[in-house]
Amino acid sequence: MEESIETLAKYPFIPEASEYFKVKTGTGDILLTDFEKPEFEEILSRAEERIREALDREEVSYKSKVYVELLSFPLTLAIVKAVGDSFLSQRYASAEAKRLIKLLQNEKSQTIFLKIANEVLMWKAEYVWQKAPYDYALSIKNYLQIAPIFRDRNWKLINKPVKDGYVYLTRGEFTRLVAEGIKNIIEDELEDRFDGELPGKLGKIVNRIRLLLSEKRPKVEELEEYKGRIILEAFPPCIGAFYQALVNGQHLPHTARFAVTSFLLNIGVDLGDVVKLFTGLPDANERITRYQVEHIAGLRGSKTKYTPPKCETLKTHGLCVEDGKFCRGVKHPLSYYRRSIRRIGRVGEGEKSEVSEEPIQEVL
């Protein structure tokens, strides 16, 4: 079904919306350099406003100028990617999820719910008739990919009506799950950072946002207390396996080496410690290894700090563990880690000691 421009403006992540606007690094229908033109001024302003709203109010608003609303979304993603800050990425994804909840609360029909669930999140969801108070049924598998993040006992599968492989949900519950799913998609998308700097006006927005970030960033970030430390329990299965192979001095294919190196650097592990991890390998050459690790850390060559490959790429290389069945639909290893760390961070103080943190110094 062809969607109206109003619908695309409200839900700019649905497939048809990307037909309107393709921002890529120099390819696609509109080039980033086109944004220097005066006709894009309003879209640029709205993109910056979306980010400022996320930082100031933790919620993105909905504005009624539909073209501006629609076109500013992918541009905002490009700007957040260029800023390259995990705190901003998470804050923005969560602020867009709140916008989505408000919009869905005002929807009259169930069509858009099912479209987002089945065509964007690729879930198996149905509208259910005469099953009040329930409105939607979601496959158990999809439910378990999202619901465990919510701490309230009401979300435990055991407390939900289940029939023929489906969990029955009220409209409010389904909205919450859909918003969480979209938040995850946006977070995953933002992990795929931009290489290099954005040109002209976009570059100026990036600089202004960086400045604002320095004021808005919480003094102690949620993940800060774990920064630079290795929390093996929080590692995605693929990275955990690569890491263990290195500790055991086993050979790893190039993509796996790149993935684990960039992963460790991105979670704040000291560069020297990452180099040491490789020196136990039979073919180790410390000078070359250091050069390569520094390159991945963005200290050499193009000065690009690399992030690990997406799950899709790791799957193509046959490096994903059991086709991601333990990963609850994540699309990026760093997203898996952040979600795990958040779960660990939420554990009560008494239980916290059960997490067997392994400081890197002891591992090496």
List residues near ligand SF4 by CB under 6 A: 236-238, 311, 314, 320-321, 324, 327, 330, 333, 336
User: Toward ligand SF4, which CB reaches closer, 221 or 312?
Assistant: 312
CA distance 107 to 54: 23
User: Toward ligand SF4, which CB reaches closer, 125 or 311?
Assistant: 311
User: Toward ligand SF4, which CB reaches closer, 274 or 314?
Assistant: 314
User: Toward ligand SF4, which CB reaches closer, 12 or 324?
Assistant: 324
Residue entry with tokens 């799957």:
315
CB of 257 vs ligand SF4, minimal distance in Å? 15
Q: At what angle do helices 286-296 and 254-266 cross, to 10 degrees?
A: 60
User: Toward ligand SF4, which CB reaches closer, 39 or 323?
Assistant: 323
Q: Residues 157, 140: contact at Cβ < 8 Å? A: yes
Q: Considering Cα of 199, then 205, then 210, then 211, what sign does the dihedral take?
A: positive
Other beta carbons within 10 angstroms of residue 305's beta carbon come to 16
- Residue 130 φ/ψ, nearest 5 degrees: 50, 40
CB of 236 vs ligand SF4, minimal distance in Å? 3
Query: Cα–Cα–Cα angle for 223, 229, 233, nearest 5°?
Result: 80
CB of 320 vs ligand SF4, minimal distance in Å? 3
Q: 52 is written with which tokens?
A: 């400022």
User: Toward ligand SF4, which CB reaches closer, 186 or 238?
Assistant: 238
SS3 130: coil
Question: CA dihedral defined by 164, 169, 175, 179, rounded to 10 degrees?
Answer: -50
CB of 281 vs ligand SF4, minimal distance in Å? 21
The one-character DSSP state at 219 is S
CB of 18 vs ligand SF4, minimal distance in Å? 23
CB of 88 vs ligand SF4, minimal distance in Å? 22
Residue 50 to residues 5, 53, 63, 221, 364, Cα–Cα distance (Å): 19, 5, 10, 22, 44
CB of 27 vs ligand SF4, minimal distance in Å? 26
User: Toward ligand SF4, which CB reaches closer, 276 or 328?
Assistant: 328
Of all residues in the shown chain, the one whose CB is closest to ligand SF4 is 324
Q: Environment class of residue 348 by beta-carbon count within 10 Å: exposed (0-12), middle (13-18) or buried (19+)?
A: exposed
